[in-house]
Structure 1
Amino acid sequence: MIVLSIDSASKVATAALLEDNNLIAEYTINNKLEHSTLVMDMVDKLLKDSNLDIDDVDGFVVSKGPGSFTGLRIGMATVKGLSLGSSKPYISISSLDALAYSLVNFDGIICPIMDALRSSVYTCLYKGNSGKLEKLIDYSALELDELIETLKEKGEKVIFTGDAVNKHKEYLLEKLPNASFAPNHLSIIRASSLGELGLQMLLNNEKDDINSSPFYLKKPQAQRELEKRLALKNEDSL
């Protein structure tokens, strides 16, 4: 089975082609270019450089979040369009799962952290078990101190990965001096990791409904501000 995987959940845009146990090709760009103009160009180049056509692809994988609201919508819309146009299935995978899977052989807790602005992060805790991920907590948007307390309670060694590492590394080391950190090339979402997870699910005949939507964890800022204004307006009318 050949799968095409796409991630645009963060500043990074990445796409990969995988066939069964082999990575055919992967492109990753991390320089804040507009994903809306970049993703399809990456897909076209991947296919061309791999001497493949879109009809050769048996399924699609996309990150469903958490992450950038705009980026997630771009990735999801792209994959839905490719899936509908080719009548091939697609499946969406958590961005946090993809980050953690790159470190699946770590002997301890794997903790991806994605920037959720201010001092909060999108996160989940995992342990690797025979090449598979086991979740220890559910996907969450937590204040950094909440996450640190949870990890202290677990009392195990931990490795951090994700785009929030550089922002919070000094503070994490202050509070968790024995913490480890993934190398830079594994602290970004890799389409190859996303593709490996998705390929196994597609082989098990799992797939998304065309009406599936991104997994934000937090409401968009504009929606939160609107709800706040409406709440204040209702209070004033009482």
Structure 2
Amino acid sequence: MKILALDTSTNVATAAVLEDGVITGEYSCNKGKTHSQRLMPMIESLLKASGLKAADMDAFAASIGPGSFTGLRIGVTTAKAMAFAAQKPVISVYTLDALAYNLPSSKAVLCPVMDARNNQVFTAAYKISGDKLERLTDYLGIHINELADILTAMKEDVVFLGDAAAMHRSFFEGRLGERFSMAPPNTAQARAASVAALAAKLYEGGSLESCYDMKPFYLRKSQAEREKG
């Protein structure tokens, strides 16, 4: 099984190839240029380095959200276009699931947090059960005070990941005390390898879609849509 996975939901642009259960290549960039400028050159370099072509893939996976409206559209559209050209299926992976899966051996509650502005975050809480990712809450777009209340009530150690973790570190550390910890830098941000690993599980479970059916999961309306009413 060969899967090309993409994640452009945050400031990180990342792509990975999974081949027969092994990540054979992963490229990531968290600095400079927009996703529209860097994603396709990144994919081309990745495939060349892996000795593969898009037509060799069995499926194309993308992180579908929540996240940046523009970023999600770029990643999802790219995965759909490549799948259409190769006549292969696509696999939708929720961004928060993929972030949590960066730490598949953790015993703590995993809490990916993505900046949604104005002290709001996109988030969910997770536990690892064996090799399975168990989501403890809905996908949420909430104020950091409300999230802190939810995590405090769980009475367990919590590991934070995502682009909003460092941004709100002092707040969550103040609310959770010794139960608070941050994921190390190599696991704290979006990784296409995690998208690919979850996509492989979905592939094996038959969760495949036509390229026409993959859609971004925004969780809430854009600011322009909210202001329009």
TM-score scaled by structure 1? Answer: 0.93
1:12–1:32 Cα contact (<8 Å) kept: no
* Greater Rg by CA: 1
SS at match of 2:167: helix
Which residue of the partner structure matches residue 194 of structure 1?
A: 195
Match of 1:231 in 2: none
CA-CA distance at 1:104 after TM superposition: 2.0
Give the SS at the match of 1:98: helix
Provide Cα deviations, 1:98-119, integer angstroms capped at 9, x if missing partner: 1000112111211000000011
CA distance in 1, matches of 2:206, 2:149: 39
Q: Determine the structure 2 residue equivalent to 1:20.
A: 20
CA distance in 2: counterparts of 1:140 and 1:208, whole angstroms: 25
Which consecutive residues of structure 2, in runs of 5 or more, have no partner in the other structure? none
Structure 2 letter corresponding to 1:188: Q
- Tell me if structure 2 keeps the 8 A contact 1:123–1:141: yes
Q: What is the CA distance between 1:162 and its match in structure 2?
A: 0.5
State yes or no: 1:170 paired with 2:182. Answer: no
Q: Show structure 1 runs of 4+ deviating over 4 A.
A: none
2:97 is the alignment partner of 1:72: no
Aligned to 1:233: none
1:170 is paired with a residue of what secondary structure? helix
Q: How far has the Cα of 1:194 moved from its partner?
A: 0.5
Q: Percent identity?
A: 41
The answer on whether the counterparts of 1:17 and 1:192 sit within 8 Å (CA) in structure 2 is yes
Q: Which residue of 1 aligns with 2:209?
A: 208
Which runs of structure 2 are paired with 1:75-224 in the superposition (5 Å)? Answer: 75-178=75-178, 179-209=180-210, 210-224=212-226
Q: Tell me the distance in 2 between the aligned counterparts of 1:54 and 1:216.
A: 27
8 Å Cα contact 1:7/1:189 also seen in 2: yes
Q: Kindly provide the CA deviation profile for residues 35-88 of structure 1, in whole angstroms up to 9, marking residues without a partner as x.
A: 012111111111111111112111111000000000000001000001111111
Q: Distance in 2 between matches of 1:203 and 1:154?
A: 33
Q: What letter is aligned with 1:110?
A: L
Query: Partners of 2:91 and 2:161 in 1: how far apart?
Result: 24
The residue that corresponds to 2:34 in the other structure is: 34
Q: CA deviation at 1:184?
A: 1.3
Measured in 2, the distance between the counterparts of 1:5 and 1:188 equals 15
**Contact residue 3 and residue 200 of structure 2 kept, 8 A:** yes
Deviation at residue 203 of structure 1 after TM alignment: 2.2
Q: What 5-or-longer segments of structure 1 have no aligned partner?
A: 228-238
Q: Offset at 1:166?
A: 1.2
After TM superposition, the structure 1 stretch with the greater mean CA deviation from structure 2, 46-55 or 134-143, is 46-55
Structure-2-length-normalised TM-score: 0.97
Are 1:8 and 1:14, in contact at CA under 8 Å, matched by a contact in 2? yes
Contact (CA 8 Å) 1:11, 1:32: kept in 2 or not?
Answer: no
Aligned to 2:103, the other structure's residue is in SS state coil
Give the RMSD, CA atoms, in angstroms: 0.9
Q: CA contact under 8 A between 2:80 and 2:214: conserved in structure 1?
A: no
